[in-house]
Amino acid sequence: MVSRRVVFGGGLASLALAGCGGQQPVARRGGDVYIDHPPSGPTGLDAVIDISHGVKVSDFASVRRSGILGVIHKATEGGDWTDPSFADRRPQAEQAGLLWGAYHFGTRQYSGAQQAQLFLSVVRPAPSTVIALDLEPNDGNPRNTMTLAQAEAFVLTVQQATGRLPLLYTHPQWANGQVYGRRRLSLGQPIQPGSLLARCDLWLADYRENPEIPYAWADRGWKLWQYAANQTEADVAYGSQARAVAGVTHADRNLFAGDTTGLYRFWNSRARS
């Protein structure tokens, strides 16, 4: 996932390559990014995609028939931008029998509380709506990268308003305070175990064969693992049973740490704090 100010394919490609640590699990085909998910990697339920307005959707029923159970859609960015496709697609996806979720791309321009307020006003999350904060370097505008303090304020505001914590989407190097991304940015310090952010379930973005668990989640692991970015019908991520997701031009692929029953239980029990 990248800022709306970054061209989707190029920006995501640079993040994927930066996260590989010298390994070569990332291949390029037709200008898109294709990331291997080999049999030796972690196992989970391959049934969740995340998309934004940059993805063209022709039919959510086809998405569901492709074996996808849940869709997490970009809702907002910063404190002043709403994804123009979010509101229209929500009822379409739910009518097709898909679980629905929403994420916010964090920036520095507005306070964490202001960003959370925008996000909540747009999403109006039901107990069965998965919600998430995307915390990553803003390579398109480095000075507008969300800080650790802003992320904590965002999560706290969401928790106070909803009684629950959002998922935290992040990369292992970024979460550990290391230099990361095309612009070689850093969060400044690692997310600490026991902190408010570490209490959030982890949505891990790591395109290596065996993803690295950030220090703060060492004892819990990931809940979702984004193992492949920008998968298209022509470039199906290895490990996804050689099946593309019909009904969309491309999508990020995610494993859930559990089975189908566990996924539905997780999605429908988000009222916990």
pLDDT tens for residues 109-128?
A: 999 999 999 999 999 999 99
On the question of pLDDT at 88 being above 70, the answer is yes
Q: Do the Cβ atoms of 233 and 15 come closer than 8 Å?
A: no
Give the confidence band of 24 by pLDDT, cuts at 50, 70, 90: very low
Mean pLDDT of 68-75: 98
Query: What are the tens digits of pLDDT across the range 248-257?
Result: 999 999 999 9
Mean pLDDT of 89-117: 98
Query: What are the tens digits of pLDDT across the range 211-242?
Result: 999 999 999 999 999 998 888 877 766 555 55
- What mean pLDDT, rounded, does the chain reach? 85
Give the confidence band of 40 by pLDDT, cuts at 50, 70, 90: low
Query: Got the DSSP string for 193-226?
Result: TTSTGGGSPEEEE--SSSPPPPGGGTTT--SEEE
Mean pLDDT of 182-201: 95
Domain spanning 8-267: which CATH class is it, in words? alpha beta
More confident residue, 3 or 249: 249
Residue corresponding to tokens 């982890």: 202
On the question of pLDDT at 9 being above 50, the answer is no
Give the confidence band of 39 by pLDDT, cuts at 50, 70, 90: low
pLDDT for res 14: 29
Encoded tokens for 54: 């940059």
CA dihedral 52, 53, 54, 60 (to 10 degrees): 70
Burial of 43 (0-12, 13-18, 19+ CB in 10 A): exposed
Give the confidence band of 2 by pLDDT, cuts at 50, 70, 90: low
β-strands 81-82, 99-105 pairing: unpaired
Mean pLDDT of 171-192: 94
Give the start-to-end residue ranges of the domains of the chain: 8-267
pLDDT for res 8: 31
